[in-house]
Chains A and B, each alone.
Chain A
């Protein structure tokens, strides 16, 4: 009788105490007033915190949505063909190609980003060579621009986009495709009306695993973006770890969570899914 509850109790308690309760604490902290010197906070039901933080940092929030969105679109466009090719034409080398897609994961995330800083640096492997050959003006630079941040995000999250797409395409029954061709579908029609609709769960998972982490990411921005184009993650990190402004940081985190969840629901609606859970 009790079996399902006993089995899920340890994990459930862990998630309750260290995931759900912290979210409640975060909401409560965002309504408190904190002493920046000591970090001590008192509840003052200070609802204006949200308005103040948003008016101060809405630019950074929009930058985050814009960069994360751009990186996600780039990743979806880059990884669909390769996922399709591995799933349908990988043959007995499928595992090898999947391993190649996963290769970046074997190097620490922070190190990967630092290496991109190397590669994109003004006199680095690429720009240095192009400048030496006078193909680029001497003052040309990529680092410390939004392009570098989007490029870094797109690289770091590419496997998270490609793998769910691969899984979804792999599951497509090839006979359905044959049936489409038998019924005079052109290549384009078969793609738009058979393959694409069947990969919707993969598109959703790819979005979830790419857009949401990219939204809160701040390593790429801090290492590749220089001091401009600040993303919301940097603001939250500074609020918590540098300024000890727990109220402000919590309010911004709550807003970020809301933006992420809104994005997920909007995307799910766009793809025409009935429930979110069917992707779990």
Chain B
């Protein structure tokens, strides 16, 4: 057995007809990675621009972001709360996000429990519920917003925080339910049965066995609901009325000129979000 004879085998095991079993590596080694990094750069580029322009000096009288680069300043970070409408819109979005996340997570998780555990003989209408969830996700958001506005006008419900909350919970429930349900797919029912055999009642079984097991799914659903809520523009624009959330305020400002503080808030939200995501990846890796 000479070294010459074994050398080609390490490159690629020859198939039956002498052709390589594995296709050439050029694509997976160079072309796809280079392409993927290019796409990632494309996705990150506007965010880099946003962060850069949050440090841009303003030379004209009006404090508005300009297309031209005028020099570095941290002025907008020092004066982050100077635009009162923007600051109150931001805190409204945070309050709204927390409230709608709590409600949507509870309702969506209960619904997911029903969908995972019961089938048509015991749960008639399961298919109907699934179809409504699908329709809810499939409907363009503008239709949700417009139809909600039609309802609020018809029943003469004044638009404000309440209508925003009703709307945000409505469009989050389906996403929470589907996320929680997907994570519950491999749920072991015998653990619950064991708890009940040992004398636990339904509530104790839920608290001590079910909830801890489905918690990762519930948290994922809650994160999804929060992200949907704080970023929602289309539905909010229809039902906000006097209570203006952050995205709606920024949209209104695009017509008259955007104060640089918008980019400061954008940078802050981005930093908090990305730090949380990195932390969760690091924690996940440590557990694994």
Task: Show 25 A/B contacts (Cβ-Cβ < 8 Å), sorted by A.
Answer: A7-B110, A7-B114, A8-B123, A8-B129, A11-B173, A14-B173, A22-B147, A26-B146, A85-B33, A106-B273, A106-B277, A108-B231, A108-B250, A111-B262, A115-B47, A119-B45, A155-B42, A158-B43, A208-B138, A219-B234, A236-B142, A236-B146, A256-B142, A261-B138, A280-B178
Whether the Cβ atoms of B269 and A108 lie closer than 8 Å is: yes
User: For the complex, is B194 an interface residue (Cβ under 8 Å from A)?
Assistant: no
Among A98-117, those with CB < 8 Å from B are 99-112, 114-117
Please give 17 more A-B residue pairs, beta carbons under 8 A apart, in addition to A20-B132, A108-B231, A216-B142.
A85-B28, A99-B274, A100-B40, A102-B277, A106-B269, A108-B250, A108-B266, A109-B233, A118-B65, A155-B42, A158-B43, A208-B137, A217-B142, A219-B234, A222-B254, A256-B140, A280-B178
Nearest 6 CB-CB pairs, A to B? Answer: A216-B140, A7-B114, A22-B147, A216-B142, A4-B123, A106-B273
Select the residue from B28, B110, B150, B233 with max chain A CB neighbours within 10 A. Answer: B150
Select the residue from A100, A107, A186, A223 with max chain B CB neighbours within 10 A. Answer: A107
Whether the Cβ atoms of A107 and B15 lie closer than 8 Å is: no
Question: CA separation between A23 and B146, bound complex, in Å?
Answer: 9
Q: Which residues of B contact A (CB under 8 A)?
A: 15, 17, 19, 21-23, 28, 32-33, 35-36, 39-40, 42-47, 49-50, 53, 65, 67-68, 106-108, 110-111, 113-115, 117-118, 122-123, 126-127, 129-134, 136-144, 146-151, 153-154, 166-167, 169-170, 173-174, 177-178, 227, 230-231, 233-234, 237-238, 246-247, 250-251, 254, 258, 262-263, 266, 269-270, 273-274, 277-278, 281, 284-285
A104: which of B43, B140, B250 is its contact (CB, 8 Å)?
B43
Question: CA separation between A256 and B237, bound complex, in Å?
Answer: 18
Question: CA separation between A165 and B58, bound complex, in Å?
Answer: 43
Q: Which residues of the other chain, B, contact A155 by a CB distance below 8 angstroms?
A: 42-43, 46
Q: Which residues of the other chain, B, contact A26 by a CB distance below 8 angstroms?
A: 143, 146-147, 150
Q: Which residues of the other chain, A, contact B230 by a CB distance below 8 angstroms?
A: 108
Question: CA separation between A223 and B246, bound complex, in Å?
Answer: 17
User: For the complex, is A121 an interface residue (Cβ under 8 Å from B)?
Assistant: yes
How far apart are A252's CB and chain B's nearest CB, in angstroms?
Answer: 8
State which of A51-59, A76-84, A131-139 sits at the interface with chain B: A76-84
How far apart are B279's CB and chain A's nearest CB, in angstroms?
Answer: 11
How far apart are A144's CB and chain B's nearest CB, in angstroms?
Answer: 14
How far apart are B166's CB and chain A's nearest CB, in angstroms?
Answer: 5
Q: Which residues of the other chain, A, contact B237 by a CB distance below 8 angstroms?
A: 237, 241
Whether the Cβ atoms of B33 and A184 lie closer than 8 Å is: no
Closest chain A residue, CB of each to CB of B263: A111
A111: which of B132, B174, B250, B284 is its contact (CB, 8 Å)?
B250
How far apart are A145's CB and chain B's nearest CB, in angstroms?
Answer: 17
User: For the complex, is A39 an interface residue (Cβ under 8 Å from B)?
Assistant: yes
How far apart are A130's CB and chain B's nearest CB, in angstroms?
Answer: 15
Question: CA separation between A181 and B22, bound complex, in Å?
Answer: 7
Whether the Cβ atoms of A95 and B284 lie closer than 8 Å is: yes
Interface size, A (range):
35 or more
Whether the Cβ atoms of A111 and B266 lie closer than 8 Å is: yes
Question: CA separation between A93 and B247, bound complex, in Å?
Answer: 33
A109: which of B23, B231, B277 is its contact (CB, 8 Å)?
B231
Closest chain B residue, CB of each to CB of A26: B147
Whether the Cβ atoms of B147 and A10 lie closer than 8 Å is: no
Among A19-35, those with CB < 8 Å from B are 19-23, 25-26, 29
Question: CA separation between A25 and B44, bound complex, in Å?
Answer: 42
B154: which of A29, A212, A254 is its contact (CB, 8 Å)?
A29
Closest chain B residue, CB of each to CB of A115: B46
Among A46-89, those with CB < 8 Å from B are 78-79, 81-82, 84-86, 88-89
Select the residue from A21, A22, A81, A187 with max chain B CB neighbours within 10 A. Answer: A22
Question: CA separation between A241 and B152, bound complex, in Å?
Answer: 13
User: For the complex, is A140 an interface residue (Cβ under 8 Å from B)?
Assistant: no
Whether the Cβ atoms of B50 and A39 lie closer than 8 Å is: no
Question: CA separation between A155 and B278, bound complex, in Å?
Answer: 23
Question: CA separation between A82 and B31, bound complex, in Å?
Answer: 11
Closest chain A residue, CB of each to CB of B169: A14
Q: Which residues of the other chain, A, contact B167 by a CB distance below 8 angstroms?
A: 18
Whether the Cβ atoms of B46 and A104 lie closer than 8 Å is: yes
Question: CA separation between A264 and B134, bound complex, in Å?
Answer: 11
How far apart are B182's CB and chain A's nearest CB, in angstroms?
Answer: 9
Question: CA separation between A121 and B68, bound complex, in Å?
Answer: 10
Select the residue from B148, B246, B262 with max chain A CB neighbours within 10 A. Answer: B148
Question: CA separation between A184 and B32, bound complex, in Å?
Answer: 24
User: For the complex, is A12 an interface residue (Cβ under 8 Å from B)?
Assistant: yes
